[in-house]
Amino acid sequence: MRRRGNTRAQRRLLRGLVGWLLGSRRRMLGALLLATVGGSGWYAHEVYVARPQMAWMGVPQETRRDLSHLTAHVLRNPGFMLSYSEWKGSPLWVTYKLFRPEKPHPVGKRPPFRPDWRTLRHVTSDDYTGSGYDRGHMAPNYAIALLYGRRAQEATFLMSNIAPQCHRLNSKWWQRLESAAIDHFTRHFREIWVVTGPVWDEKPRYLKRAWIDIPDAFYKIFVGIDIAGRPHALAFMVPQTVRGFEPLSKYLTTIDAIEARTGLDFFWRLPDAQEARLEREAATGAFHLRAVDRLPSRY
């Protein structure tokens, strides 16, 4: 009888174990299904809702099949969005919107530079130390802080928003253009969409202490939307070798020329005829460029 009792107990234990395993399997499958559906929902929201809201007429597209483009991934921040190239160690493009704020945010003390945990290569501020290059902001510290607040300002100091710039470019010519944009260009438009980033040639050069490719030039594209909703384009491409005091107009270019140098496709959601017209335009009159062409630098 003891043996029979043991057998019954063993059967009950076996049935319980099988039931638990089947239940666990169902729970695991349910969790996996939930994670899959949730992940798909997040991705769909990210690609079709969140990102398009932070770019004008389409999120810029990488068209080259090289490692600089294939390793790029989009990162959203408060006030701006970028595509970071793990191969280059810098963003390929950064986009943000400028406007005249009714209630500007106070611009506080400059935050420290920080690595971006979302990148595979954790570039640090120390990687630039002793390199001879500045930590050049792509999304500007001052304008982003003024329009979007402290958290957005702190995000501009993430190293994913930084590229190597010669000091004269960073502190003079580039700073002059950024000041002209927020203080002057915004007076003439309802809003201005900006896309900016580095330009590299075919022969890479790297910082002394890190695998960070040094750009040969930088571009900045402005699309101003007037009160009637019409877009006007103004684009610049400036080499690292500037002295800093040159007229801003010296480095005027077209969006077409920037696309040819970078392999990026901007504003692809526009109708073809309108895109072609905008991308060969240099609307210096609409932006009143002459008024700030020789604007002195702050430093």
Q: Does the pLDDT at position 34 exceed 80?
A: no
Residue 227: inside a domain, yes or no? yes
End-to-end, the C-alpha distance of the chain in Å comes to 97
The C-alpha atoms of residue 279 and residue 256 are separated, in whole angstroms, by: 5
Q: Answer yes or no: are the C-beta atoms of 115 and 159 closer than 8 Å.
A: yes
Residue 287: inside a domain, yes or no? yes
The pLDDT value given to residue 2: 44
Place of tokens 């945990």: 117
Domain match, 15 and 149 both: no
105 part of the active site? no
Number of domains composing the chain: 2
Question: What is the DSSP-derived secondary structure letter of residue 263?
Answer: -
Q: Is 141 one of the annotated binding-site residues?
A: no
- The catalytic residue among 73, 122, 137, 188 is 137
Domain match, 104 and 72 both: yes
Domain match, 25 and 79 both: no
Lowest-pLDDT range of 139-143, 150-154, 200-204: 200-204
Q: Answer yes or no: are the C-beta atoms of 246 and 173 closer than 8 Å.
A: yes
Domain match, 139 and 192 both: yes
Nearest to 125 by CA among 142, 112, 108, 144: 112
Q: Does the pLDDT at position 200 exceed 70?
A: yes
Place of tokens 């398009």: 52
Supply the CATH number for residue 124's domain: 3.40.570.10
Domain match, 207 and 64 both: yes
Domain match, 121 and 3 both: no
Domain match, 91 and 237 both: yes
Domain match, 232 and 135 both: yes
Structure tokens at 91: 């963003």
Residue 299: inside a domain, yes or no? no
Domain match, 136 and 78 both: yes
The domain in which residue 119 lies consists of: 57-292
* 74-129: pLDDT as tens digits: 999 999 999 999 999 999 999 999 999 999 999 989 999 999 999 998 899 999 99
pTM of the predicted structure, to 2 decimals: 0.86
Residue 65: inside a domain, yes or no? yes
Lowest-pLDDT range of 38-42, 227-231, 264-268: 38-42
